[in-house]
Amino acid sequence: MRTYSSFLGRVVETQSGRRLGKVRDLRASLGKGCPTVEAIVVGRRGRLEHLGIGKTASHRPDAVPWGAVVKIEGKRIVVADGTELV
């Protein structure tokens, strides 16, 4: 099991090494049972979102879909090539 705080500050990059940003927050949906992580919030805009500043999340590309995660290792999270911020 991983904790929320263990993701903060990790570098998010594609399999080919393109850096998308650092983890600033996680987005999750609340349903029955535990929350389900849906996206990784990255970059400067993600930092502002984490602080509650700015427009709603749907108006800016600052997140990586959780389904794009290929592996989590050390201080980085690797996502599939072709992944773009949503």
Does residue 16 form part of some domain? yes
- CATH at residue 62: 2.30.30.240
The residue among 79, 81, 77, 86 whose CA lies nearest residue 23 is 77
Total number of domains constituting the chain: 1
Q: Where in the sequence is the domain holding 15, given as residue range(s)?
A: 4-79
Q: What is the pLDDT of residue 59?
A: 52
Does residue 84 form part of some domain? no
Q: Is the pLDDT of residue 60 over 90?
A: no
pLDDT tens per residue across span 8-40: 999 999 999 999 999 988 988 988 888 889 999
Q: How far apart are CA 23 and CA 76, in angstroms?
A: 9
Does residue 26 form part of some domain? yes
pTM of the model: 0.80
Q: Is the pLDDT of residue 63 over 50?
A: yes
Q: What is the pLDDT of residue 82?
A: 95
Q: What is the pLDDT of residue 48?
A: 65
